[in-house]
Amino acid sequence: MNILVINAGSSSLKYQLFDMDNETVLAKGLCERIGIDGHLKHTPNNGKPVFNEDIALPDHAVAIQAVIDKLTSAEYGVVSAMSEIDAVGHRVVHGGEHFAQSTLITDEVMKAIEDCIPLAPLHNPANITGIEACTKVIGNVPQVAVFDTAFHQSMPSKAYTYAVPHKYYDEYKVRRYGFHGTSHRYVTDRAAALLGKPVEDVNIITCHMGNGSSICAVKGGKSVDTSMGFTPIAGLPMGTRCGDLDVSVMEFIMKKDGLDIDAMMKVLNKESGVLGISGTSSDFRDLDMAAEKGDKRAALALDVFTYSVAKTVGAYAVALGKVDAIVFTAGIGENSASVRKAIADQLGVLGVAIDDEKNKVRGEEVDISAADAKVKAFIIPTNEELVLARDTKEIASK
Ligand code: ADP
């Protein structure tokens, strides 16, 4: 069974075609600058050449058609006809309270995804566009929506309720939702496998640290708390997002600098986080190098980040009562030995200790715990696309 997995943004579209009989990737690629001019990079995994060229992509339907053409072409293809694509899985950012798991896309489901647009005004419209483009081009294959928020729908009300007048929840559904759910779910399952126990029997704290970062407390396979909130700006300081902030800081700066709310939100989303603190970069590789050369603000940005992660892990140890393992994943979690080390060093109180030699590993699934650690520490490369493909296979096969 071949499954096409799609992650549609407002001007981009990432895809992977999986052969789910053996969970291998047949081809993957990225359409960029959709609606502007257009570029397609298509990488087949069967030895055929990579296609990497500017092509006109006026809208998402044209982009999907271009992807299908490449997947089925003699020169760059991996299947012989569109009929060999059995189902399509779409990443959808926000499922609100409607969706606690992935679902077959129907007219009703599309309506519910549309209803969530106010909660994710940048992301859900792009995801909807991707689904509509597929319907137009591929027609009648089953399509499945996999939501970033779904995994966190198991949080108890004490974890998702904000201390504001309750009418805002009742009337507008203002609450913590959490994101990166597909990644937290994937690494949780892998961590349980590494522990050699059923996921129901283990408590895990997963640290997804990339351009966006979030932490999740997972009890018996279910999310019970997570650091992102109503939107992905909350929780940890990130590449350019501020993370948790005393809301009065906004009022203070807006009055001082005469900013309106849109300008203020731009500062908090695009100019804050480790970029804001360091004044130089949102990229942890740059910060690591700068800090090593004595750049104090880069060092401070890294300190603020790792302290925030460690504090949140500490809080989630309380939420869980007992912790079997912590997991590091995504760009920073999988690659930065120094960030993992700085976090682990602050978690000695929980019994976390890592082995410096094992911690040198990059991008592999590995146990980096020290011999005397009471809590295991794992690096687990995330694979959100595989989760999408698995969910799509399961739902489309029903
Ligand atoms: P996204 O959230 O966009 O999927 P990623 O998970 O790819 O992002 O993570 C991107 C982040 O990973 C960047 O901040 C980048 O600096 C960081 N990163 C990648 N490689 C390394 C590395 N070797 N050392 C430190 N940070 C790294």
Pocket test for ligand 1, best of 208, 280, 283 (most atoms within 8 A of CB): 283
Pocket test for ligand 1, best of 282, 284, 334 (most atoms within 8 A of CB): 284
- Residue 284's pLDDT band (cuts 50, 70, 90): very high
For residue 106, the surrounding DSSP H or E stretch is none
The per-residue pLDDT for 322 is: 97
For residue 18, the surrounding DSSP H or E stretch is strand 13-19
- Residue 51's pLDDT band (cuts 50, 70, 90): very high
CA-nearest of 7, 71, 4, 59 to 33 is 59
211 Cα–ligand 1 center, Å: 6
334 Cα–ligand 1 center, Å: 8
Beta strands in 234-302 (DSSP E): none
97 Cα–ligand 1 center, Å: 30
Measure the CA–CA gap between 162 and 176, rounded to whole angstroms: 7
The per-residue pLDDT for 361 is: 87
Structure tokens at 78: 């991996």
Query: Chain centroid to CA 319: how far?
Result: 22
Q: Where are the alpha helices (H) located in 150-247, listed in sequence order?
A: 157-160, 167-172, 181-195
Fold of 197-379: Nucleotidyltransferase; domain 5 (3.30.420)
- pLDDT digit string (tens) for 106-146? 999 999 999 999 998 889 999 999 999 999 999 889 999 99
Residue nearest to atom 27 of ligand 1 (CA): 332
DSSP-derived secondary structure letter, 296? H
Measure the CA–CA gap between 388 and 390, rounded to whole angstroms: 6
- pLDDT digit string (tens) for 369-394? 999 999 999 999 999 999 999 999 99
pLDDT at residue 363 tops 80: no
287 Cα–ligand 1 center, Å: 11
Give residue 289's region: left, alpha or beta (phi > 0; psi -120 to 50): alpha
CATH class name, domain 2-147: alpha beta
pLDDT at residue 362 tops 90: no
The per-residue pLDDT for 66 is: 98
Active site residue 148: yes
CA-nearest of 253, 303, 210 to 245 is 253
7-15: average pLDDT: 95
Catalytic residue (one of 148, 225, 295, 367): 148
Structural domain spans, the chain: 2-147, 197-379
Give residue 80's region: left, alpha or beta (phi > 0; psi -120 to 50): alpha
Closest atom of ligand 1 relative to the 330 alpha carbon:
6
The per-residue pLDDT for 122 is: 85
- Torsion (CA) 351, 357, 362, 363 in degrees, nearest 10: -50
Closest atom of ligand 1 relative to the 283 alpha carbon:
16
Pocket test for ligand 1, best of 289, 332, 338 (most atoms within 8 A of CB): 332
The per-residue pLDDT for 186 is: 98
CB 326 within 8 A of CB 207: yes
Averaged confidence pLDDT in the chain? 97
CB 184 within 8 A of CB 151: yes
DSSP 331-346: HHHHH-HHHHHHHHHT
Measure the CA–CA gap between 232 and 94, rounded to whole angstroms: 11
Going from the C-alpha of 220 to that of each of 45, 151, 198, 373, 374, the distances in angstroms are 37, 13, 8, 21, 19
How many CA atoms lie within 13 Å of 274's alpha carbon, on the beta-carbon side?
31
**Neighbouring C-beta atoms of residue 181, cutoff 10 Å:** 28
- pLDDT digit string (tens) for 160-169? 999 999 999 9
CB 87 within 8 A of CB 396: yes
- pLDDT digit string (tens) for 241-251? 999 999 999 99
The per-residue pLDDT for 327 is: 98
398 Cα–ligand 1 center, Å: 37
> Which pTM was predicted?
0.96
Measure the CA–CA gap between 217 and 326, rounded to whole angstroms: 9
Closest atom of ligand 1 relative to the 208 alpha carbon:
6
Give residue 38's region: left, alpha or beta (phi > 0; psi -120 to 50): left
Structure tokens at 91: 């990443």
Closest atom of ligand 1 relative to the 286 alpha carbon:
16
Measure the CA–CA gap between 321 and 202, rounded to whole angstroms: 11
Q: In what order do the strands lie in the sheet with 2-8?
A: 51-54, 39-44, 24-32, 13-19, 2-8, 87-92, 143-147, 103-104
54-83: average pLDDT: 97
Closest atom of ligand 1 relative to the 382 alpha carbon:
6
- pLDDT digit string (tens) for 228-281? 999 999 999 999 999 999 999 999 999 999 999 999 999 999 999 999 999 999
Structure tokens at 277: 């603190």
- Residue 364's pLDDT band (cuts 50, 70, 90): confident
371 Cα–ligand 1 center, Å: 28
* Domains 2-147 and 197-379 agree in fold: yes
Looking at per-residue pLDDT, the higher value among 10 and 160 belongs to 160
Pocket test for ligand 1, best of 274, 285, 334 (most atoms within 8 A of CB): 285
Task: Kindly list the protein residues whose Cβ atom lies closer than 6 A to any atom of ligand 1.
Answer: 210-212, 239, 283-285, 288, 330-332, 335-336
Max distance between CA atoms of the chain, in angstroms, equals 62
CB 88 within 8 A of CB 4: yes
The per-residue pLDDT for 223 is: 98
166 Cα–ligand 1 center, Å: 38
